[in-house]
Each structure stands twice: as structure tokens, then as C-alpha cells.
Structure 1
């Protein structure tokens, strides 16, 4: 695969990963549980991508974190803040609208390809 295509695919994936992560943080999750939830939905994310993303979302005040120390291994849990929930719902709406429009465009493109 060309370097350009790789770069474009990474760029396309970056925004979708943010939305995917936000979608799973309506209930508190720790890193590994989040990776598992996403993988169950067919979205693979490396921990080396996830943790910097979670730190960025926390810095942007979209998520909050807290340590759970009652178990043998302390875990840092992340959850949407009230602001984060508002932003997520707006992004979700935007994503759905954009997806419908893009799908219609691309589907139309397939029809043209078949008639050529």
C-alpha cells in the first residue's frame, strides 16, 4: 500500500476512533475493558493509540477519570463528563448525517462505474 494511501486511511480512522471511544464511555471503563468493547464491535485499537487519546479527551474536559483501588490491581476508569456527553451526542448526529450523505455520493459513484 502506498505511503499516501496509508496516511489518508490513518487520517480517516483518527476521527472515527474518537467517536467510537466516546460512544463507549457513557458508563465508566478502564483501558483494557474499552479495548475489549471496541474489538467486540470490530474496531481494533492499540493501547499505544488509546491512552494518548484518553489523555487528550480528559485534557479537553470531555472525559473524567478516577482510580479504583478496591481490587488487587488499581485501575483508572474513564467516563464522559456532562460536557463530553453533549459533545458526543452532537458529534454522533453529525456523523450520522455525514455518513448518509457520503453513502449516497459513493453509491451514486458505484452506479456510474457500472454503466461505464
Structure 2
């Protein structure tokens, strides 16, 4: 009887991981939101849009979590290209699918 809820939660987590295109690195749980930015690009037919988002903390606080949410739920990709968790800076590369724009909400936690 106790295994049914556990199996349900695992199945739900698997569906979310396979369907979501959001970037989640580190943890936001019990951490303070330091910075947030909305990154948008309009669509150009037959082209992929790429945007680099740079963050550097002048207070040199260590990043504990990064979340980049795709607000349009497209097949766009977000990757951390430099820094990230354990550093005081982060470079995030956003790349849209062909013919689509970008609409991301980026949050950095310390």
C-alpha cells in the first residue's frame, strides 16, 4: 500500500523531466533570490535565435542555484557555458528552435 504513492511520485517526476525544457542547476530551496532577468527574442522565420546572458556578483557571493524557465514551453535549450554553481558568476546560453523566439525567466540563488 505504501509503494503506490512512491511509484506515482516517481512517474510524475519522470514525466516532468522528459517534458520540461527548463534549466535547473543546483538548488533554490532555502536559498535567497539574488538576481532575476527576463530574456526575450522575437522569432525570425527559418532561423535559430541565440542569446547569451551574463551575470557577475560584485559582492562575490557563491551561486547555489540557477533556474532558467522557458515561459513559452518550446523546444528551446538553455545551458551554462561558464561559472554557475560554486562560482560568483554565470554565463547562460539560450538557443531557440528554428523559427521560434525566446522567452525565458532566469533566476540566480545564493
TM-score normalized by structure 2?
Answer: 0.26
TM-score normalized by structure 1?
Answer: 0.25
Relative contact order, CA 8 A, sep 6+: which one is greater? 2
Select the structure of larger CA radius of gyration. 1
Question: Which structure shows the higher helix fraction?
Answer: 1
Question: Which structure shows the higher strand fraction?
Answer: 2
